Amino acid sequence: FQLLSERGARAAADGADSDADTLGAAAPYAHAALLWLLLALGALGGPFGVLSDGAGRRVLIACALLGLAPIAISIARVALAARAVAIEMRALMLAATVGAMAVGEECDAALLVSLFAAAQLVEHAAMARVGAALRSATHLAQPSTANRAADGTAVSLSELRAGDRIALRAGEQCLADGRVCAGKAVVSDAALTGEHAPRTVSAGAPLAAGALVLHGYCELELDAPPAQSELALAAQLVALAQT
């Protein structure tokens, strides 16, 4: 019973974390949808008789302020972390929106923040897809051990250094960036490029982490440790950009 209760507790915790992640991911979409709803209501409510002109203006002001809130919070966080205000897109958007409201162009201000929210969603979706693809490719390219070319003994990836030679057989994934120093094989870079276009590699040919050996056998001389491959570094940069 204790084991079942512990498993149930873990499952409940995992479910709660999953629900929290789902809600967190849905929040930007809900925010953007609300902005566009308020923009449509404020801009079209007056001409169609749904709202009075004064009420329409107030709705547009509310839309602009609601859109400015996350922008201002983001700028404040960056400023506190860097102890300086960076002149970048969010700061320019804040200045443009406040300026539009100052001259009485509430509709323009609301439209600016709504467009910015939509652009952020597109960027977020693109970054999420790139990050997922890189994580998948990195996972495929990072088993726990490799085989030394000299004697075939297994060695931990953390022990590999530039200049080491590893053996790659059919069905194995390339673990690091390097050059083929012996043998001949047919490889696929589909995990990196998304296109299944097999190519033949032999001595002197470059081979990147993530490539899959389809046929043959080759030995790879590492240019750098597996953790410093271009694939691993790209995944780290994407993760950093998403924070």
43-102: pLDDT as tens digits: 887 666 667 778 888 899 999 999 988 888 888 887 777 665 556 788 888 889 889 989
Tens of pLDDT along 198-224? 999 999 999 998 899 999 999 999 999
Residue 9: what pLDDT? 42
Tens of pLDDT along 43-54? 887 666 667 778
Task: Give the rounded percent of residues in the chain with a pLDDT score beyond 90.
Answer: 26
**128 and 168 co-located in one domain:** no
Residue 168: what pLDDT? 94
For residue 189, tell me if it sits in a domain. yes
**18 and 121 co-located in one domain:** yes
**60 and 169 co-located in one domain:** no
**40 and 85 co-located in one domain:** yes
Residue 133: what pLDDT? 67
User: Is residue 19 very low, low, confident or very high in pLDDT (cuts 50, 70, 90)?
Assistant: very low
* 144 or 76, higher pLDDT: 76
Task: Give the rounded percent of residues in the chain with a pLDDT score beyond 70.
Answer: 78
**90 and 210 co-located in one domain:** no
**114 and 50 co-located in one domain:** yes
d(CA 134, CA 234): 7
For residue 190, the enclosing domain spans 145-228
Number of structural domains, the chain? 2
Return the CATH number at 198.
2.70.150.10
Domain limit, last residue, from 139, 163, 190: 139
CB 140 within 8 A of CB 191: yes
For residue 174, tell me if it sits in a domain. yes
**13 and 120 co-located in one domain:** yes
**129 and 163 co-located in one domain:** no
Residue 180: what pLDDT? 96
What is the overall mean pLDDT for the chain? 80
d(CA 184, CA 175): 17
For residue 215, tell me if it sits in a domain. yes
Domain limit, last residue, from 139, 168, 199: 139
For residue 177, tell me if it sits in a domain. yes
**81 and 161 co-located in one domain:** no
pTM, two decimal places: 0.51
- Residue 238: enclosing H or E segment and its boundaries? helix 230-242
**31 and 115 co-located in one domain:** yes
> What is the dihedral angle through the alpha carbons of 14, 19, 20, 21, rounded to the nearest 10 degrees?
90
**129 and 108 co-located in one domain:** yes
For residue 235, tell me if it sits in a domain. no
**101 and 10 co-located in one domain:** yes
CB 145 within 8 A of CB 158: no
Residue 186 makes CB contacts below 8 A (sequence gap 6+) with: 198, 199, 200, 201, 213, 214, 215, 216
For residue 241, tell me if it sits in a domain. no
Strand 212-222 relative to strand 165-169, pairing = antiparallel
For residue 107, tell me if it sits in a domain. yes
Domain limit, last residue, from 139, 167, 200: 139
Of 215, 135, 142, the C-alpha closest to 173 is 142
